[in-house]
Amino acid sequence: MKVALVYTSTTPELIELVEKEVRQLLPQGTEIISYQDPSILAEVREAGYVTAPPAARLIGMYMKAVCDGADAILNICSSVGEVADSAQDVARYTGIPIVRVDEDMCRDAVRQGKRIGVMATLPTTLAPTKNTIMRVAREMNQHVELVDVLVDGGFGLDQEQFKELMSKYAGEICDNVDVILFAQGSMAYCEEYIQQKYGKPVLSSPRFGALALKDALVKQGLL
């Protein structure tokens, strides 16, 4: 069995965490192939939204994974999650599911509270993540309120410095939300720290994405 992980931005921490979550859930011997194009997120950040050329390159990575024999594809980047949504007709036609890393996380946030805090370091990640939360809330017949937080100054910090910065921004909203959601998978190592400090549920996407990938393989009859 072979699964594809598709990144538009990477950090060593993100790659390590995503692969760890995936390997814990899938059978030993599962081949993991990684596709990376950081220029996609760079162009999205510069434009402020997903323009046609980076969307086309992302879809090209999905199709490369299909041609390389992937049984399922996990889209890691929330900034381009709506591109993964747009590719679902092709996924159904090829029989190779394209799974978003963050959709089940958004559903869990809606289940856990009416007031959801959304934290990101990039404005281009906040908007599509908020759109996904509102979409799944409608599908679940729930009304939610979103409080978004743009974590400024996070680039170039080491893990401990970044955890302290995240803690500062989380503290500004914790009294006004029921659950805190991290819009970027690269924030995941802060999850337990923020949850313990403020006593609120904190959600990050890698573990949800790995579970969704496993579910997709189960539905394909491969597990």
Same domain? For 80 and 151 the reply is no
Same domain? For 126 and 114 the reply is yes
In this structure, what token pair is assigned to residue 16?
């390590």
The answer, as to whether pTM is greater than 0.85, is yes
**How does residue 172 score in pLDDT terms, banded at 50, 70 and 90?**
very high
Dihedral sign, Cα of residue 15, residue 150, residue 38, residue 1: positive
Place of tokens 């404005």: 123
Same domain? For 174 and 107 the reply is yes
**How does residue 11 score in pLDDT terms, banded at 50, 70 and 90?**
confident
What is the number of domains present in the chain? 2
Q: Do residues 192 and 159 lie in contact, with contact meaning Cβ atoms separated by under 8 Å?
A: no
List pLDDT tens digits, range 41-73. 999 999 999 999 999 999 999 999 999 999 999
What is the span of the domain harbouring residue 25? 2-101+207-219
Residue 62 half-sphere exposure toward CB, CA atoms < 13 A:
30
List pLDDT tens digits, range 89-108. 999 999 999 999 999 999 99
CATH code of residue 23 = 3.40.50.2300
- pLDDT over 80 at 154, yes or no: no
Sheet of 179-182, strands arranged across: 145-150, 115-120, 179-182, 202-203
Same domain? For 191 and 213 the reply is no
- Ranges assigned E (strand) in the chain: 2-7, 31-36, 72-75, 98-100, 115-120, 145-150, 179-182, 202-203
Distances (CA, A) of 9 to 5, 45, 60, 181, 206: 12, 11, 16, 19, 14
Same domain? For 60 and 124 the reply is no
**How does residue 13 score in pLDDT terms, banded at 50, 70 and 90?**
confident
Q: Do residues 117 and 180 lie in contact, with contact meaning Cβ atoms separated by under 8 Å?
A: yes
CATH code of residue 116 = 3.40.50.12500
- pLDDT attached to residue 14: 87
Taking the C-alpha atoms of residue 33 and residue 165, their distance in angstroms, rounded to an integer, is 33
